[in-house]
Amino acid sequence: GAVVSQHPSRVICKSGTSVKIECRSLDFQATTMFWYRQFPKQSLMLMATSNEGSKATYEQGVEKDKFLINHASLTLSTLTVTSAHPEDSSFYICSARDRGAGKDYGYTFGSGTRLTVV
Amino acid sequence: QQQVKQSPQSLIVQKGGISIINCAYENTAFDYFPWYQQFPGKGPALLIAIRPDVSEKKEGRFTISFNKSAKQFSLHIMDSQPGDSATYFCAASKYDKLIFGTGTRLQVFP
């Protein structure tokens, strides 16, 4: 089945530094990739949608200059948290949609990245 | 319009029992309704999904019931097992975006 690899699984960084999270579709081409943020015991909140080769579309209230998304190929999207602060600490999850999924929509999720900003 | 309401927030079921989680939506444009299972520290994994032209879908111990007129759908887990203990999310989709429900924490006791 479709597999999405997300790295790193955990990262601790100092306040003011930037962190990059990678999301790769291993065995399929992803027309669209999504980035979510999840706080403890809460639901997944969509941050942005990215299509290969075009600018990401950010959800209302998400700072596009803080959360930089690059979707350079059909198998790779990256999320960079710039000038991270403790309030950016969260669980970040990517999802990729298989362009060949047809009726099933084909959303596959990565295993998530736990970001802690100290 | 974009919300998906999920209940209950938490559920405790004895081993072998039936777990039932309910969701309601408002946007009639949604055309894909999946359920996801999430274990702590992991990403969500697709359990089962349904389209609005079907009233019920069963896969193994998992069944989705869908009521289009009431704009509600539910997940039934038959013969619940301790390994089913996880957080379950319903979701709805149209035009690529997945909108998630608030989640239900299920605990199955032996």
Closest CB to A109 among B44, B101, B105? B44
Average pLDDT rounded to a whole number, residues A19-47: 93
Beta strands per DSSP E along chain B = 4-7, 10-14, 19-25, 33-38, 45-50, 56-59, 62-67, 72-77, 86-94, 97-100, 104-109
Closest CB to A114 among B36, B41, B105? B41
Phi, psi dihedral angles at A43 (to 5 degrees): -80, 175
| Kind of pairing between the strands at A76-81 and A67-73 | antiparallel
Nearest-Cα residue of chain B relative to residue A45: B100
Q: How far is A112 from chain B (nearest CA, A)?
A: 5
Q: Report d(CA B65, CA A85) in Å as an integer.
A: 43
Give pLDDT, residue B65.
97
Nearest-Cα residue of chain A relative to residue B41: A112
What is the overall mean pLDDT for chain A? 92
DSSP state of B32: B
- Each residue's pLDDT tens digit, B62-105: 999 999 999 999 999 999 999 999 999 999 998 778 999 999 99
Closest CB to A97 among B41, B44, B96? B96
User: Using a CB-CB distance cutoff of 8 angstroms, which residues of chain B are in contact with residue A114?
Assistant: 41
pLDDT at A104 over 80: no
Closest CB to B42 among A41, A42, A111? A111
pLDDT at B42 over 70: yes
Contact B46 A112 (CB under 8 A): no
**A-B Cβ pairs (cutoff 8 Å, strict):** 52
Nearest-Cα residue of chain A relative to residue B49: A104
Q: How far is B72 from chain A (nearest CA, A)?
A: 19
Q: How far is CA B7 from CA A68, A77, A89, B4, B29, in A?
A: 34, 33, 27, 10, 22
B102, with CB counted inside 10 A (0-12, 13-18, 19+), is middle
Give pLDDT, residue A43.
95
Q: How far is A49 from chain B (nearest CA, A)?
A: 8
User: Using a CB-CB distance cutoff of 8 angstroms, which residues of chain B are in contact with residue A107?
Assistant: 34, 46, 93, 98
pLDDT band of residue B1 (cuts 50, 70, 90) is low
